Amino acid sequence: MRRVAPVIIAFLSGFVMVISFCFSPDKTVLGRIEPKLLSWVTIVGGFTLLLGVVSITRVNWQGVRRKKEGWGYKLLTLVSVYIMAIPAMLPSSWSPLFGDAEGSIYDWLFTYIDSPMMGTMFAMLAFYIASAAYRAFRARNPEATLLLTAAVLVMLWRIPMGEAFLRLFGENVPGFINTYLMGGVNAAVQRGIVIGAALGAASMSLRIMLGIERTYMGKG
């Protein structure tokens, strides 16, 4: 039953959503089921967030208690989770420090700690990309040369100085890059990827509905 019930629920949920798509929500019962099921997705999703907090607490707390390698980081993770979550959940009517409005603990932590840290992590990519470009971007074969040329052209096109440089070869050169490289070759390839991914998603959904794909239950 533990294996059959989730498959039945997955099949019914998927089937009803597919069928109700074809019916008007104003005129038919089937059509009205879709928004109701979607509300349930939000409600169930809220509980999965709670499950995530319980899981992160359990896993990290065990690591801290047993003083596993890197237990200090695990402790920091736990402190961070609760120091952000608890003041944000308390009603702001108790104190202006609670809730998530401007001036609250959550807002302060987000603005002055979380936001700069995330920005720093992302900004560091520029250094790694520059170093990696120098070491790895080599014109070893015709394909790599083509990629390298396209990359250099796009990089030049995306900056005002580069665009001015490209205009030295012809007023329409940046326009050609936009039309033929980005709107032509690039768009064609991206379209192929998007269609391929959509077909893959459709077949995966079908596999889940028919119970062929069961990895979401934690088993193959």
- Provide the binding-site residues for other proteins, judged by CB under 8 A: 25, 34-35, 38-39, 41-42, 45-46, 49, 100-102, 107, 110-111, 114-115, 118-119, 121-123, 126-127, 129-131, 133-135, 137-139, 148, 151-152, 155-156, 158-164, 174, 178, 182-183, 186-188, 190-191, 193-194
The nearer residue to other proteins, 72 or 192, going by C-beta atoms, is 192
Q: Name which of 158, 204, 210 is nearest 181 in CA terms.
A: 158
The nearer residue to other proteins, 71 or 110, going by C-beta atoms, is 110
- 134: Cα separation from own chain's centroid: 29
Burial of 174 (0-12, 13-18, 19+ CB in 10 A): buried
User: Considering the complex, what minimum distance in angstroms separates the CB of residue 188 from other proteins?
Assistant: 8
User: For the chain, how big is the Rg over CA atoms in Å?
Assistant: 26
- CA–CA separation, 145 and 178 (whole Å): 20
The nearer residue to other proteins, 4 or 49, going by C-beta atoms, is 49
The nearer residue to other proteins, 118 or 212, going by C-beta atoms, is 118
Who's near 64: CB < 8 A, 6+ residues apart?
71, 74, 75, 78
The nearer residue to other proteins, 3 or 132, going by C-beta atoms, is 132
Three-state SS for 92? coil
The nearer residue to other proteins, 66 or 94, going by C-beta atoms, is 94
User: Considering the complex, what minimum distance in angstroms separates the CB of residue 67 from other proteins?
Assistant: 30
Three-state SS for 211? coil
User: Considering the complex, what minimum distance in angstroms separates the CB of residue 147 from other proteins?
Assistant: 11
User: Considering the complex, what minimum distance in angstroms separates the CB of residue 30 from other proteins?
Assistant: 14
- CA–CA separation, 108 and 96 (whole Å): 12
Structure tokens given for 166: 């490209």
User: Considering the complex, what minimum distance in angstroms separates the CB of residue 59 from other proteins?
Assistant: 20
Who's near 96: CB < 8 A, 6+ residues apart?
103, 104
Three-state SS for 137? coil
User: Considering the complex, what minimum distance in angstroms separates the CB of residue 92 from other proteins?
Assistant: 9
- CA–CA separation, 137 and 129 (whole Å): 10
